Amino acid sequence: MANQKVFQMDFGKIYEMYIQKVERKGRTKKELDTITMWLTGYNEANLKKQLDSHVTVEEFYTFAPQIHPNAVKITGSICGVRIADIQDPLMLNIRYLDKLVDELAKGKDIEKILRK
């Protein structure tokens, strides 16, 4: 199953691709860290620890302190899939971060990305 393959990927490698994407668009790793910590509840030290430990995508989200309650306000489509149609909770969290990264890369204001 395609989802299982994604779930077992090294989250740090995906994060590196996120960094490249946002930096190509003039945004920073610090901004990426901010939105990632907002979504997952990790603090700076724990996020770094997760990235350095080469955890899988599944482990990264499973061990996340708390998915932000306002994550449900993240709507729209990512990779041609409507977020509202995603049933698997793990895939939903993955797509939430994908959507936030897209918004950051497109120049959206951090305050709006964080659904304040």
Give percent of the chain with pLDDT exceeding 70. 98
pLDDT band at residue 2 using 50, 70 and 90 as cut-offs: low
Domains held by the chain: number: 1
Task: Look at residue 112 in the predicted model and tell me its pLDDT.
Answer: 95
Task: Look at residue 79 in the predicted model and tell me its pLDDT.
Answer: 83
**In the predicted model, what is the mean pLDDT of residues 66-72?**
96
**Which CATH number fits the domain that encloses residue 39?**
1.10.8.290
Cα gap 15→38, rounded to integer Å = 15
Coil vs helix vs strand at 64: coil
The Cβ of residue 55 has, within 10 Å, a number of other Cβ atoms equal to 17
Tokens, residue 99: 């959507």
Query: 63 is in which domain, residue-wise?
Result: 2-113
For the ranges 53-57, 71-75, 78-82, the lowest mean pLDDT is seen at 78-82
Q: Nearest CA to 65 among 89, 47, 91?
A: 47
The answer to whether residues 105 and 21 touch, using CB atoms and an 8 Å cutoff, is: yes
